[in-house]
Amino acid sequence: MIKYLYTTEYNEDFNEVILDFGIDTSLNNGYLICNSLGSDIFGDFATVKDEIEKLLELLAGKVTLYEGGGNVNLIKSDEFFTTIEDIFADDEEASTCKIETLEYTKIILIWAKENFQYKCKRGAVLREEAELAVDWINKKFMDNKILRP
């Protein structure tokens, strides 16, 4: 589904899923993706939905730039690439991750789906809310040819 390697971790204390891209050597500073999921892109359905809709508009050419983040990273996306920059790092080279915007969009969807399923399993989210989110995510993958593997 996505071209980058990652490990999945489950944080029971915070009922959240962590996708760690630090293991993929083809991504410089892939750990920044992990840092932004949950802190810059919150795991509630409304935020995920809004983020994905904006990225899909970008990928469709309806807008030319989308900027987000701010808690841990600054995130700038254009139609082709997303740059994630650590706002606290001193070394610019070690504080930036560049990834294709399409792949970044897929990562957010995968992370959100995993999170809603995990939170439901742990009782942190109502089943109806989790099902609504997972159904919406699955529909985005099916409806958008660019998101399909």
Judge contact between 88 and 68, C-beta under 8 A: no
The span from the CA of 144 to the CA of 25, in Å, is 29
Q: Which has more confidence, 131 or 144?
A: 131
Mean pLDDT of 105-122: 96
pTM reported for the whole predicted model: 0.93
Judge contact between 32 and 75, C-beta under 8 A: no
Residue 1 inside a domain? The answer is no
The span from the CA of 44 to the CA of 148, in Å, is 23
Residue 123 belongs to what domain range? 7-147
Looking at the structure of the chain, the number of domains it has is 1
Residue 2 inside a domain? The answer is no
The span from the CA of 120 to the CA of 114, in Å, is 10
Residue 64 inside a domain? The answer is yes
Q: What is the pLDDT of residue 92?
A: 64
Residue 67 inside a domain? The answer is yes
Question: What are 39-84's pLDDT values in tens digits?
Answer: 888 889 999 999 999 999 999 999 999 998 878 899 999 999 999 9
Question: What are 16-48's pLDDT values in tens digits?
Answer: 999 999 899 999 999 999 989 988 888 899 999
| Packing angle of the helix pair 127-143, 101-121 (nearest 10 deg) | 160
Judge contact between 114 and 17, C-beta under 8 A: yes
